Amino acid sequence: MRFKTTMKWVVTLSLSFLGLWFAFRGVDTRTVFLSIKNVRLPWVLMFLPLCTMIEYLMRAWRWAIFFKPVSDKGMKPLIPITIAGFFLNNALPFRIGEVARIWWSHQAMETPVSTATAVTAVDRLFDMMAILTIVVFVFCQRPDLFIYPRAILGFVCATVGGFLFLLWLAHFPGAASKILSHRRIPAKISEFLHNFIEGSIALRKWSNALLAYLISVAFWGGNIYASMLISRLFGLDLTYLQTCWMVVGFCFGTLIPSSPGFVGTLEAAGVAALGLLSIDKSLSLPYIITIHFVQILGSALWGVPAMFLAGLSVKSLQKQKTLQA
């Protein structure tokens, strides 16, 4: 077990260093940090943590929509869990924050772990739907940017396929239950999958799906707009379309296993995306480093108090080894 953990750390740290090497290759480091030091109106960056909190509240609202059919606890207990979960995603490797969100929401909402897993899967699927919308928006105007169409096609198929699968579970639970009740399926696995079906119940109402989608597009669109405004502090003056493309790059960069906070992989993905727009690294890298640092800082600013005030403990995740297996 220790060997596997060690190897995971070796791989993730290696990928992070490789990403940083790619991002800084051919760039004068002193120039990069001088650009950050001389940023115009640095106090404007202090508004980014506020934007982050608004995003967390909207994410908790969306998550509560999917929990409503299986729990009467409401949105309130999900707010600190959302904040703390995203903080752990930045503070620890292997996206441990997603595991934490499942475990803590299972406890707070008094639902089976499998139901909390399904609800969280549905919740995250709507992030993928929002990103797909951004991808389509960029593709309609700049199809030449998509130099790896197979990767984009794979993402589209995974997103649409996952959404259709969860819709099938929600609208045809009887058929799904019949399949899962097969005698060859172990009882524990069958019980887990039956509870998983319950977690998709919210999708039976199209109004829930529409509201969740609109919430997702709203906070993703807001983040893009804020990032576009911040680019002007660095003299980049990115358009909304260009910022959308950069965010698409960020999303694919965070899919790569890396050290805590996606350090390295996010920088590499950002400069690569803006490089396809003919924006030099010496201009894009200071901007990307700054928004990444402020994002991590904002996550910690809200995440640490949220964990403390809500009594959320990382040690409690040790009880959830079955989910990580």
What string of DSSP letters covers 243-299?
HHHHHHHHHHHTTS--SGGGTTHHHHHHHHHHHTTT--HHHHHHHHHHHHHHHHHHH
Q: Which of 178, 62, 168, 77 is nearest to 120 (CA)?
A: 62
CA dist 31 and 54 (Å) reads: 34
DSSP state of 259: S
Length of the chain: 325
Cβ-count burial of 201 within 10 angstroms (0-12 exposed, 13-18 middle, 19+ buried)? buried
Structure tokens at 216: 């997702």
Q: Check: CB of residue 248 under 8 Å from CB of residue 273.
A: yes
Over the range 246-261, which residues count as b (16 or more CB within 10 Å of their CB) and which as e?
A: bbbbbbbbbebbbbbb
Matching residue, tokens 């105007």 = 141
What string of DSSP letters covers 9-64?
HHHHHHHHHHHHHHHHTTS-HHHHHHHHHT-SSGGGGGHHHHHHHHHHHHHHHHHH
Confidence (pLDDT) at 316 = 64
Contacts of 244 (CB under 8 A, 6+ apart): 134, 137, 138, 224
Confidence (pLDDT) at 318 = 60
* Global pTM exceeds 0.85: yes
Q: Check: CB of residue 112 under 8 Å from CB of residue 195.
A: yes
Confidence (pLDDT) at 255 = 79
Confidence (pLDDT) at 180 = 67
Residues of the chain with pLDDT under 70: 1, 3, 180, 182-183, 257-258, 315-325
CA dist 125 and 121 (Å) reads: 6
DSSP state of 26: T
Structure tokens at 280: 């030099």
Cβ-count burial of 74 within 10 angstroms (0-12 exposed, 13-18 middle, 19+ buried)? exposed
Over the range 204-224, which residues count as b (16 or more CB within 10 Å of their CB) and which as e?
A: eeeebbeebeebbeebbbebb
Distances from the Cα of 71 to the Cα of 75, 112, 311, angstroms: 10, 11, 20
Q: Check: CB of residue 62 under 8 Å from CB of residue 212.
A: yes
Residue 178 neighbours by CB distance under 10 Å: 10
What residue spans define the domains of the chain? 12-316
CA dist 51 and 223 (Å) reads: 8
